[in-house]
């Protein structure tokens, strides 16, 4: 049948208003209780606390750095398009989580409707397509992709994939290629691969659609030959966004896939340590786990990293053989049902094809598991299910009094919607999320670490230590867990325990910045100065570009080295830290100690330019002004310091003390007095501030 005729059935392939309304409500209502969720998990580092998203002036950093930011050793992903969506929202409404969640829900609704539209245009019958899209809208496995703010990478990439596939259908509706929709298809594809690399599946999705165009799977080889004969150039053009992606990744990351210095830690993905055949069969087994959880969402968890999932330890083990047998059985079933029930093989191919880049089958990725990864692939599973459930086509339709299929799908959708509502509650806060993760995946070292970090932030040191010890028992090479154990020991004054924990961290990862800094600092605090000096020297050799190490080493030597050595180290810290305020202030103090007062004041002013909120720099300048007899200027600096940190009682006390001892500063101090008493009360609990108030009042 000519293409023009094949696509000339708009009435049968148009989404009805009731269908659209049903899918819209189904994709939005179950997620409404997730709108009140806070920033959780990676939302904080990617969105809330990401300095690259702070203003339009930092857009260049988004375009020239990898997804998480930081050094090349962690450069595995490049996703500037999704980061730009977060940035624009931050510019508009700041760091309020609700609008971010609202956009995510809107994207999920758009994906659901676009999926429905695409399938109808392919020619599949409306009832099973509607059933599959209804289930897609509500299945609980999608909660991580929709309610988690950083799940937007999945929903937006899926939207781009479906938009590109839909526009391809419009571009090839007639015998001649229609240029506008074709170019728009390429544009959607290009945008998608810069949202998330999983959108690279567009050519495969388009090809799959062509094999089933018209809603049937008849003569696939003949269809393929005809397609290549008529559309070879257009299909080849679909590869151009991939060429652009690889070229840009090579330029920004230093590699076509990842940075040459990046490595995947087997804590995040234990499959990376396996030989390719064993990794492949294990990854295949995990695909069946995704399929099971799509339909039976029991035990959903935000983390299943090292030691949580039981893997096959050999190619002859049952865990390795069973996935291969199941995959072979499904492939045979797809071939068998290719003509009789085309929606089944179409769905199975869509699931396998869209999951391929993130499946760990062709190559290991940065994680062994993530429910968000099943977002678009789950549509294929649900289509296969709906295709099996749909009645066979009959020449003479038989009326049915009992519409059990529709009732069953409706009941299942209602159950899934309730499950989604319940699952949303887990993503309300880090406390709820990490507690749930440990409960669902108690053998996950990363889950234990995440809960420990949260408990530490909540001042529950004992609980944090308990979880960290469990994490290191599960995965002894968890160097960040050892590092946090060292920090907790330092904060508790247990210097020997801190040194031991940081040493364990460095035994696993000898160049870990936090471990090197903590080890040297712990030795210093324990009074083991020769060992501390050696540790700082070693840290400086291993990480010569680390601003943290350079500044901390300069601070250590500031109290022990000669004046010339101190100046040398602080100048090095300023260069290494690219002129950061704390390093410049350290240099200012070293210059002052060497008698270079004017140079010290200039450096302190540079420190304020680099870090306007640095109160120590203002205190330093205030002290210099007071030495010159400029009490008013000194009070002005202290006033600015306190206003930038209004909860700091010591800064408030300094300002009032200056007013009490210098008549020319008294007016400035008195002007700040009402604000200080409003903040701390007429009788503040801080003894120094109370004494300063009394002195100024006399």
Token pair 């008529």 in the structure block, residue = 230
pLDDT at position 74: 65
Task: Give the per-residue pLDDT at 285.
Answer: 96
- Give me 434's structure tokens: 């990490």
- Give me the residues of the chain with pLDDT under 50, please: 1-9, 395-396, 400-402
H/E segment holding residue 132:
helix 126-138
Q: What is the pLDDT of residue 396?
A: 47
Query: Is residue 380 situated within a structural domain?
Result: yes
Phi and psi torsions of 70, nearest 5°: 95, -165
* Residue 247 domain-assigned (yes or no): yes
pLDDT of residue 329: 96
Maximum alpha-carbon separation in the chain:
104
What is the C-alpha to C-alpha distance for residues 361 and 276, in angstroms, rounded to an integer? Answer: 8
**Six token digits for residue 199:** 């959108």
Supply the pTM of this predicted model: 0.87
Q: Which two tokens stand for residue 113?
A: 């409707």
Enter the DSSP assignment of 695.
Answer: H
Helix/strand/coil percent split, the chain, to 5: 70, 0, 30
Residues with Cβ within 8 Å of residue 358, at least 6 apart in sequence: 198, 365, 370, 373
Q: Are 574 and 599 in contact (CB under 8 A)?
A: no
User: Alpha helices, DSSP H only, in 65-151?
Assistant: 80-93, 97-122, 126-138, 143-146
C-alpha to C-alpha distance for 513 and 525, rounded to whole angstroms: 18
Three-class SS of residue 274? coil
Residue of 211, 203, 213 whose CA lies nearest to 3? 213
Nearest of 618, 619, 616, 623 to residue 597 by alpha carbon: 623
Instruction: Give ∠ CA 427-430-433 in degrees, rounded to 5.
Output: 50
CA–CA dist 632, 614 (Å, integer): 20
Residues with Cβ < 8 Å from 523, sequence gap 6 or more?
499, 529, 531, 532, 535
Which of 640, 652, 644 has the alpha carbon at shortest distance from 676? Answer: 652
Q: Is 531 helix (H, G, I), strand (E, B) or coil?
A: helix
pLDDT, tens only, 65-101: 888 887 666 667 899 999 999 999 999 999 999 999 9
Residue 30 domain-assigned (yes or no)? yes
Q: Is residue 511 part of a domain?
A: no
The pLDDT value given to residue 87? 96
Q: Is residue 557 part of a domain?
A: no
How many residues does this entry show for the chain?
698
Q: What pLDDT, in 10s, does the model give residues 143-181?
A: 999 999 999 999 999 999 999 999 999 999 988 899 999
Using a 10 angstrom Cβ sphere, with 0-12 exposed, 13-18 middle and 19 or more buried, the burial of residue 199 is: buried
Q: Token pair 């670490």 is at which residue?
A: 449
Q: Residue 83's Cα: distance from chain center in Å?
A: 10
| Gap between the Cα atoms of 149 and 677, Å rounded | 41
Residue 259: give the domain boundaries: 11-422
Q: Rounded CA gap, 538 and 534, in Å?
A: 6
Question: 445-457 vs 430-440: helix axis angle to the nearest 10?
Answer: 150
Q: Where are the alpha helices (DSSP H) in 139-275?
A: 143-146, 152-171, 179-195, 202-211, 220-237, 240-253
Alpha-carbon torsion angle 41, 42, 44, 48, nearest 10: -140
Angle 343-355/318-336 helices, nearest 10 degrees? 140
The DSSP result for 566-627, as a single string, is: HHHHHHHHHHHTTT-HHHHHHHHHHHHHTT-HHHHHHHHHHHHHH-TT-HHHHHHHHHHHHH
Closest-CA residue to 698 (of 664, 635, 656, 665): 656
Which phi and psi (to 5°) does residue 683 adopt?
-125, 80
Q: Which of 172, 143, 162 is nearest to 35 (CA)?
A: 143
Per the structure block, which two tokens stand in for 276?
């390719």
Domain count, the chain: 1
Other CB atoms within 10 Å distance of the CB of residue 326: 15
Residue 302 lies in a domain: yes
Q: What's CA 33's distance to the chain center, in Å? A: 22
- b/e map of 68-85 (b: 16 or more CB within 10 Å)? ebeeeebbbbbbbbbbbb
Cα–Cα distances (Å) from 354 to 78, 130, 200, 278, 287, in that order, read 19, 20, 9, 22, 12
Which residues 6+ apart lie within 8 Å of 382 measured at CB? 132, 133, 135, 136, 139, 294, 347
Assess if residue 270 is contained within a domain.
yes
- Report yes or no on 112 lying in a domain: yes
């Amino acid at each position: 049948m000519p293409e023009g005729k094949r696509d000339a059935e708009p009435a049968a392939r148009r989404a009805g208003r009731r269908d659209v309304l049903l899918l819209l409500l189904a994709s939005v209502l179950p997620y409404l209780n997730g709108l009140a969720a806070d920033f959780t998990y990676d939302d904080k580092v990617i969105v809330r606390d990401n300095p690259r998203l702070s203003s339009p002036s930092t857009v260049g950093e988004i375009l020239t750095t990898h997804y998480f930011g930081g050094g090349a050793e962690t450069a595995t992903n490049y996703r500037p398009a999704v980061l730009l969506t977060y940035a624009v929202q931050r510019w508009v409404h700041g760091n309020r989580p609700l609008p971010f969640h609202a956009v995510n829900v809107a994207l999920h609704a758009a994906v659901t409707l676009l999926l429905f539209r695409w399938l109808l245009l392919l020619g599949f019958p409306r009832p099973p397509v509607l059933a599959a899209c209804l289930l897609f809208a509500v299945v609980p496995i999608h909660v991580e992709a929709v309610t988690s703010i950083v799940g937007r990478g999945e929903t937006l990439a899926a939207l781009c994939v479906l938009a590109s596939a839909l526009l391809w259908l419009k571009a090839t509706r007639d015998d001649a290629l229609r240029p506008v929709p074709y170019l728009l298809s390429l544009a959607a594809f290009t945008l998608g691969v810069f949202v998330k690399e999983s959108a690279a599946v567009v050519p495969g999705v388009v090809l799959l659609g062509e094999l089933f165009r018209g809603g049937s799977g008849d003569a696939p080889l003949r269809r393929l030959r005809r397609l290549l004969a008529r559309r070879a150039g257009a299909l080849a053009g679909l590869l151009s966004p991939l060429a652009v992606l690889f070229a840009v990744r090579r330029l920004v990351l230093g590699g076509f896939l990842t940075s040459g210095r990046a490595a995947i830690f087997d804590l995040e993905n234990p499959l990376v340590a396996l030989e390719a055949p064993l990794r492949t069969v294990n990854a295949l087994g995990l695909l069946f786990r995704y399929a099971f959880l799509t339909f039976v969402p029991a035990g959903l968890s935000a983390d299943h990293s090292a030691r949580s999932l039981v893997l096959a330890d050999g190619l002859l083990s049952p865990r390795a053989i069973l996935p291969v047998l199941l995959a072979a059985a499904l492939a045979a079933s797809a071939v068998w049902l290719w003509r009789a029930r085309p929606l089944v093989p179409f769905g199975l191919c869509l699931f396998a094809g869209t999951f391929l880049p993130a499946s760990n089958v062709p190559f290991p990725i940065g994680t062994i598991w993530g429910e968000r990864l099943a977002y678009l692939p789950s549509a294929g599973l649900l289509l296969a299910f709906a295709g099996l459930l749909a009645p066979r086509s009959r020449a003479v339709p038989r009326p049915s009094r009992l519409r059990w299929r529709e009732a069953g799908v409706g009941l299942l959708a209602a159950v899934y919607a309730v499950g989604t509502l319940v699952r949303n509650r887990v993503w309300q806060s880090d406390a709820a999320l990490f507690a749930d993760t440990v409960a669902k995946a108690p053998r996950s070292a990363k889950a234990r670490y995440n809960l420990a970090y949260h408990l530490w932030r909540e001042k529950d040191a004992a609980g944090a230590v308990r979880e960290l010890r469990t994490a290191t028992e599960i995965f002894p090479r968890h160097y960040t867990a050892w590092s946090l154990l060292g920090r907790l020991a330092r904060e508790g004054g247990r210097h020997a325990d801190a040194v031991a924990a940081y040493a364990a961290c460095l035994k696993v990862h000898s160049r870990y910045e936090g471990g090197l800094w903590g080890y040297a600092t712990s030795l210093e605090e324990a009074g083991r100065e020769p060992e501390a000096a050696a540790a700082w020297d070693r840290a400086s050799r291993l990480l010569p570009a680390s601003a943290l190490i350079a500044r901390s080493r300069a601070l250590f030597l500031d109290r022990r080295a000669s004046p010339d050595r101190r100046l040398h180290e602080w100048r090095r810290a300023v260069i290494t830290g690219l002129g950061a305020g704390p390093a410049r202030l350290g240099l200012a103090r070293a210059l002052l100690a060497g008698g270079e007062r004017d140079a010290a004041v200039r450096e302190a002013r540079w420190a304020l330019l680099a870090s306007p909120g640095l109160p120590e720099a203002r205190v330093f300048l205030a002290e210099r002004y007071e030495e010159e007899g400029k009490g008013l200027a000194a009070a002005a600096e202290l006033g600015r310091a306190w206003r930038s940190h209004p909860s700091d009682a010591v800064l408030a006390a300094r300002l009032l003390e200056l007013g009490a001892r210098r008549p020319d500063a008294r007016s400035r101090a008195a002007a700040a007095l009402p604000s200080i008493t409003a903040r701390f009360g007429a009788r503040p609990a801080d003894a120094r501030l109370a004494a300063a108030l009394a002195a100024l009042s006399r």
